[in-house]
Amino acid sequence: MSDQRPDFHAALKSLEETTLSMADKVEGMVAMAIRSLVNSDKTLVSQVIADDDVVDEIYMEIRSRWMNIMARQQPMGRDLRMMAAILEMNNTLERMGDQSVNIARIAGLTAGLPREETILAKLQEMGDLLKPMIRTAIDAFGRRDADECLLLPAMDVPVDVLNRSMWKHVVACGNDPQLLEWATRMILVSRALERVGDQAVDIGEQVAFLLTGDHQEFLRFHDYDAD
């Protein structure tokens, strides 16, 4: 079989590679944001914010190239599904980058405040759970691996459980105003991490669509919770 549209397919492949490089960058940002929080590291805070500018540039570049390919090439079949998946992933990755910035900014704002180790450990645990999730989502896309993307909803469950349990740890911080300020901000961090988990599952759904052509929503925590 020969490729009758080599220029188009080269442009599509290049767009996919750019999306993967954006995903790698975002993966690093999430990890860095958590480290900046746990270690109260303002250098890392600045690095996350700087990386987000890079991600935003890649986001705009992907959108521009995407439009160009659609206008010029009118892809069909799996090429069309790839284009749809890339557009969705581009949006999702950009938002994951934004969540990392949210976390890093809170890390910067709370750097001088007293901390509660249990909460910090829970957030660290959420970060540890997210790391393989994000990698799984990226690899599932890069390898076109349907089995891998199907792992994501179950991987997301403990992240959601930790997020839901966060409030009671915050309440337990008592009446110390400074600790309470820190702790309430950690609810926002927890929420941001929970969203990152959802977004990794979103990527998995895009991979499933890419591979099957069927739009599907994976079961989420609230679906399990209803049982």
Partner 1 sequence: MSTRMELASTVVEDAVSPGPSAGLAGSAGSSAIFEIQDLNVYYRDFHAVTDTSLNIYQNEITALIGPSGCGKSTVLRCLNRMNDLIDGARVEGRVTYHGIDLYGSSVDPVEVRRRVGMVFQKPNPFPKSIYENIVFGPRVAGWKGNFDDLVEETLVRAALWDEVKDKLENSAFDLSGGQQQRLCIARAIATSPDVVLMDEPCSALDPIATYRIETLMRELKKQYTIVVVTHNMQQAARVSDRTAFFSVDVGEEGQRTGRLVEYDMTDRVFTAPSMKETEDYITGRFG
The correct pick among 117, 147, 214, 227 for binding partner 1 (CB under 8 A) is 214
**Owner of token pair 């999430």:** 30
**Which helix (H) or strand (E) covers residue 224, if one does?**
helix 221-225
State yes or no: residue 2 binds partner 1 (CB under 8 A). Answer: yes
- Which of 12/162 has CB closer to partner 1? 12
State yes or no: residue 76 binds partner 1 (CB under 8 A). Answer: yes
Q: Closest distance between partner 1 and the C-beta of residue 82, in Å? A: 10
Name the residue among 117, 145, 142 with its Cα closest to residue 19: 142
Q: How many other CB atoms are found less than 10 A from the CB of residue 113? A: 15
- Structural contact between residues 156 and 200, judged by C-beta atoms closer than 8 angstroms: yes
State yes or no: residue 212 binds partner 1 (CB under 8 A). Answer: yes
- Which of 147/214 has CB closer to partner 1? 214
In the region spanning residues 21 to 40, those forming contacts with partner 1, defined by CB under 8 A, are none
Name the residue among 148, 184, 150, 30 with its Cα closest to residue 95: 30
The correct pick among 19, 31, 45, 75 for binding partner 1 (CB under 8 A) is 75
State yes or no: residue 9 binds partner 1 (CB under 8 A). Answer: yes
Q: Closest distance between partner 1 and the C-beta of residue 217, in Å? A: 17
172 vs 180: CA distance, rounded Å: 9
- Which of 7/53 has CB closer to partner 1? 7
State yes or no: residue 213 binds partner 1 (CB under 8 A). Answer: yes
- Which of 80/180 has CB closer to partner 1? 80
Distance of CA 216 to the CA centre of its chain: 19
- Which of 184/212 has CB closer to partner 1? 212
Name the residue among 45, 218, 59, 50 with its Cα closest to residue 136: 218
Q: Closest distance between partner 1 and the C-beta of residue 11, in Å? A: 12
State yes or no: residue 3 binds partner 1 (CB under 8 A). Answer: yes
State yes or no: residue 71 binds partner 1 (CB under 8 A). Answer: no
164 vs 187: CA distance, rounded Å: 10
- Which of 78/143 has CB closer to partner 1? 78
- Which of 54/67 has CB closer to partner 1? 67
Binding residues for partner 1, rule CB under 8 A, total 18
Q: What is the DSSP string of 81-141?
A: HHHHHHHHHHHHHHHHHHHHHHHHHHHHHTTTS---HHHHHHHHHHHHHHHHHHHHHHHHH
Binding site for partner 1 (CB under 8 A): 1-5, 8-9, 74-81, 212-214
